[in-house]
């Protein structure tokens, strides 16, 4: 019986190493052209998940390793969300949803993103569809909350009448002087 454990243990170890190597080989796509990504999202009826990150952010590395890369590697999210990463501290620029060329830092400021990691869930025009996720507090619950926000964003795209009644992960902002809630869209502010 003991002789069975050694090969089985070795096989399990090799499997873990192979999965780790595959996951390390997966790069999260950068948000270079959000106008083009928005068109892809519109054509595919998908929300866009914007992952704001920084090179010097250990929590960003943890988020990418524990959640974002496995989401891309597994393929279950391919028909649920379009994922794009934005680095705030490398001086990069992008084309925003309206076709304007601008720095990633300026784009992040337009959404009020100042902390990394931050995840936004938006439609093809950049309008937020679900509550933003800022930081990582409880790693054990993060995946469930992330799935709730993805479900909410996807529902706003595919079933907007049903999404209006959904409470989970809903982003409602009131502008000063407004009596009714408004969805935040930096393109219109």
Mean pLDDT score across all residues of the chain:
82
Residues 18-39 have a mean pLDDT of 77
pLDDT for 23: 41
- How far is it, in rounded angstroms, from Cα 116 to Cα 87? 9
pTM for this predicted structure:
0.77
Write out the E strands in 73-152: 82-87, 93-95, 101-103, 118-122, 133-134
pLDDT for 105: 97
Residues 156-162 have a mean pLDDT of 91
Residues 104-133 have a mean pLDDT of 97
Alpha carbon of 146 to those of 63, 132, 135, 158: distances in Å? 11, 10, 12, 18
Alpha carbon of 172 to those of 8, 9, 20, 75, 178: distances in Å? 52, 51, 39, 31, 12
**126 Ramachandran zone, left/alpha/beta (phi>0; psi -120 to 50):** left
Residues 151-173 have a mean pLDDT of 77
């Amino acid at each position: 019986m003991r002789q069975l454990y050694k090969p089985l243990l070795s096989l399990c170890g090799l499997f873990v190493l192979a999965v780790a190597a595959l996951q390390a080989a997966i790069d999260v796509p950068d948000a270079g052209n959000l106008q083009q990504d928005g068109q892809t999202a519109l054509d595919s009826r998908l929300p866009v998940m914007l992952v704001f990150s920084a090179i010097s952010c250990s929590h960003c590395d943890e988020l990418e390793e524990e959640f974002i890369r496995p989401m891309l590697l597994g393929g279950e999210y391919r028909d649920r969300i379009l994922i794009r990463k934005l680095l705030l501290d490398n001086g990069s620029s992008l084309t925003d949803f309206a076709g304007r060329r601008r720095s990633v830092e300026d784009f992040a400021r337009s959404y009020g993103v100042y902390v990394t990691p931050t995840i936004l869930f938006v439609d093809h025009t950049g309008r937020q569809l679900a509550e933003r996720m800022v930081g990582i507090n409880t790693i054990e619950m993060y995946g469930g909350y992330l799935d709730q926000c993805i479900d909410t964003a996807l529902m706003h795209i595919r079933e907007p009448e049903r999404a209006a009644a959904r409470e989970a992960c809903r982003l409602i902002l009131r502008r000063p002087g407004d009596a009714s809630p408004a969805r935040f869209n930096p393109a219109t502010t």
